[in-house]
Amino acid sequence: MAICITFGTHEFTSMLEGYENVRAYCYNCNHWNGRCVTRWPFFTICFIPVIPLAMHKYKEVTCYTCRFTQDLRDRPDINPDTRPPPNAGYGPQPPPQAYFGGYQQQQTPQQQMQYPPVASGATSPPPQPYAYK
């Protein structure tokens, strides 16, 4: 007769009380996606939490973009009133969408095409010689 007993760990996480609306700056990925969370690890037997692995909950700042975690004691710049600047976005912004009738940038004569447009199936213009400096 075989008895299978599963051992492991599980972490209970929740938003830090009083810091629910705080968005912190992540020093790893340079975005304003850091959130203040509490984490409490437990030792489990058969998926049942039995023994806490810490005497208290860890208070941390976790970035939702890169999953970088830092102890809240190491971040004196974060308090319950911390907010990102008004022009800060929620991570990297996508490039603007191109659409017909939108703003078109004026090209200087050096940027304009030197050859007529190439129709499908036609060959491309000869390559330009490179001048190394």
Q: Are 62 and 69 in contact (CB under 8 A)?
A: yes
Tens digit of each residue's pLDDT, the chain (133 residues): 888 899 999 999 999 999 988 889 898 998 888 999 999 999 999 999 999 999 999 999 999 999 999 999 998 888 888 777 776 655 555 555 555 555 555 555 555 555 555 555 555 566 667 666 6
Torsion angle defined by CA atoms of residues 78, 82, 86 and 89, in that order, rounded to the nearest 10 degrees: 60
User: For 49, phi and psi rounded to 5 degrees?
Assistant: -65, 125
Question: What gap in Å lies between CA 49 and CA 34, rounded to an integer?
Answer: 28
Domain ranges for the chain, please list them. Answer: 7-74
